[in-house]
Amino acid sequence: MAAGGNIQSILVTGGNRGIGLELVKQLVERPNPPEWLFAACRDPEGARAQELKNLASKHPNIVILQLEATDPGSIQTAAKKVEAHLGGSGLNLLINNAGVMPESTLESATPADMLDVYKINLVGPMLITQAFLPLLKKAAQGSSQTGLSCGKAAIINMSTIGGSIGNAPSMSTFQVISYRCSKIALNMLTRCQSLGYKEDGILCTALHPGWVKTELGTAKAELTVDESVRGILKVLSSLSEKHHGIVVNWEGRTVPW
């Protein structure tokens, strides 16, 4: 299968900038783009969504949805809209990409900081997955593909190597405590989802996109969004049972827990 190919419907959260916007751009420009590409963002009318809106005006298969990861009401409304667009088909691929990384050191982290970041980076993907699960199950049931794959039905949770315990000593200066803790919890959510949804035929994998030049990754990062997303799309097209419930990076290598 070509990178990112043969996936009929995809939803990306945080689709208005950074890695999310680049995913939308590269997916829609493929020779075999998805029939439906749902780009969720929290403020579709805001200045930060302008580039996405420009892109959507040229590609009728892009549907922009309002989705605030901490607001169950907005998630439910987005799920109803997606269901209406799909007209009886399921959703093949859900990419829980939206996330935040505010400053947070061992000394400065407060209960409120920790909970705010958990709400977006962990509770958000959990609620979003719950809301879209019926559509993911429908995609799996309607697919003639055997095994697990993104072309059939999949949940991809955007994680980070910064949430790896095994790798932690080499990243001791990466002092974003709330972020790192939230992402390791997201890894466990991914593992639990993989156990819960295996029988439903839904692939569940966490993905480290590399250190990428975005607002979150900063201009000092190693990779451009173009390089990272090219790698991610290649990896998505190759995911199978052996990647179920683990963390892989943008080059397809397993990230240690």
Shortest distance (Å) from residue 75 CB to ligand NDP = 9
Which residue number is nearest to ligand NDP in terms of Cβ? Answer: 18
Query: Given the complex with ligand NDP, which of 139 and 176 has the nearer CB atom?
Result: 176
- Is residue 214 a contact point for ligand NDP (CB under 6 A)? yes
> Does the footprint of ligand NDP cover residue 123 (CB under 6 A)?
no
Task: Give dist(CA 204, CA 202) in Å, integer.
Answer: 6
Cβ nearer to ligand NDP, comparing 35 with 116: 116
Binding mask 64-83 for ligand NDP (x = CB under 6 A): ---xxxx-------------
Q: Give the interface size with ligand NDP as a residue count (CB under 6 A).
A: 32
Among 10, 11, 12, 19, binds ligand NDP (CB under 6 A): 19
Site for ligand NDP in 142-161 (CB under 6 A): 158, 160
- Considering only 11-19, 132-140, 148-156, 249-257, which stretch makes contact with ligand NDP by CB under 6 A? 11-19
- Beta-carbon contacts of 92 under 8 Å, excluding residues fewer than 6 positions away, are 7, 8, 9, 10, 34, 136, 139, 143, 150, 151, 152, 153, 154
Mark the segment that binds ligand NDP (CB under 6 A) among 17-25, 128-136, 194-202, 234-242.
17-25
Q: Applying CB under 6 A, does 103 fall inside the site for ligand NDP?
A: no
Residue 81 phi, psi (nearest 5):
-65, -40
Q: Letter for the amino acid at 20? A: G
Neighbour-count burial of 173, counting CB atoms closer than 10 A to its CB (0-12 exposed, 13-18 middle, 19+ buried) = exposed
- Binding of residue 209 to ligand NDP (CB under 6 A): yes
CB-count burial class (<10 Å; 0-12, 13-18, 19+) for 46: exposed
Full strand arrangement of the beta sheet holding 62-66:
62-66, 36-41, 9-13, 93-96, 154-158, 203-208, 247-249
Query: Where do runs of H (alpha helix) occur along the chain?
Result: 18-28, 50-58, 72-86, 111-118, 124-142, 177-197, 225-238
Long-range residue pairs from 113-116, CB within 8 A, at least 24 positions apart, any chain: 113/178, 114/177, 114/178, 114/181, 116/178
Residues between 24 and 63 that touch ligand NDP (CB under 6 A): 41-43, 48
Asked if residue 254 binds ligand NDP (CB under 6 A), the reply is: no
Binding piece for ligand NDP, criterion CB under 6 A, among 75-83, 137-145, 196-204, 215-223: 215-223
- The nearest distance, CB 218 to ligand NDP, in angstroms, is 8
Query: In the complex, which residues of this chain contact ligand NDP (CB under 6 A)?
Result: 13-14, 16-20, 41-43, 48, 67-70, 97-101, 120, 158, 160, 208-209, 211-212, 214-217, 221
